[in-house]
Amino acid sequence: MRFMNKVNFLLFTFCAIATFSSCEDKRVSQGRDAYMRFYKNYLPNPNSLKVKKENYTIGDKNEVKWRLDIQTNNIYGEPTDVKDSFITTGDRVFKVNDMVIYDDGSMNRIY
């Protein structure tokens, strides 16, 4: 009986550790959803998108700064490698490379 209690305790402990250690920061998951939505709206062939490398830094005020290496097909169907940087706030993209995105979807270059 004592052996089964120890086994149950160990299983519960491992499950709890796995559950809490695999949780991703909400800002990161929202930012990832935001830049994927951005790509789906602005790429000529969004179904060809492959994220090859993703780095992020969590900043102040819910900002997440992203550096992405992606591969996508251009308008001629040829694979193209692209490096982009994003700043996301919550669940929306605020800045792509040197361009600010406003709520209406328009992009304006920062000088």
The DSSP secondary structure of 8-58, one letter per residue, reads HHHHHHHHHHHHHHSPPPHHHHHHHHHHHHHHHHH-SSGGG-EEEEEEEEE
CA distance 5 to 74: 59
User: What is the pTM assigned to this prediction?
Assistant: 0.69
Q: Domain limits at 92? A: 25-109
Torsion of CA 8, 9, 14, 16, to 10 degrees: 110
pLDDT band at 110 (very low <50, low <70, confident <90, very high): very low
The type of residue at 28 is V
Domains identified in the chain, total number:
1
Q: Is residue 59 part of a domain?
A: yes
Query: pLDDT tens, 38-93?
Result: 888 888 888 999 999 999 999 888 899 999 999 999 888 899 999 989 888 888 88
Q: For residues 25 and 70, give the distance between their C-alpha atoms in angstroms, rounded to a whole number.
A: 22
Q: For residue 71, tell me if it sits in a domain.
A: yes
User: Is 6 domain-assigned?
Assistant: no
Report if residue 2 sits inside a domain.
no
Is 96 inside any structural domain? yes
Do the domain assignments include residue 40? Answer: yes
**Structural domain includes residue 100:** yes
Tokens of 29: 């998951």
Q: Is residue 14 part of a domain?
A: no
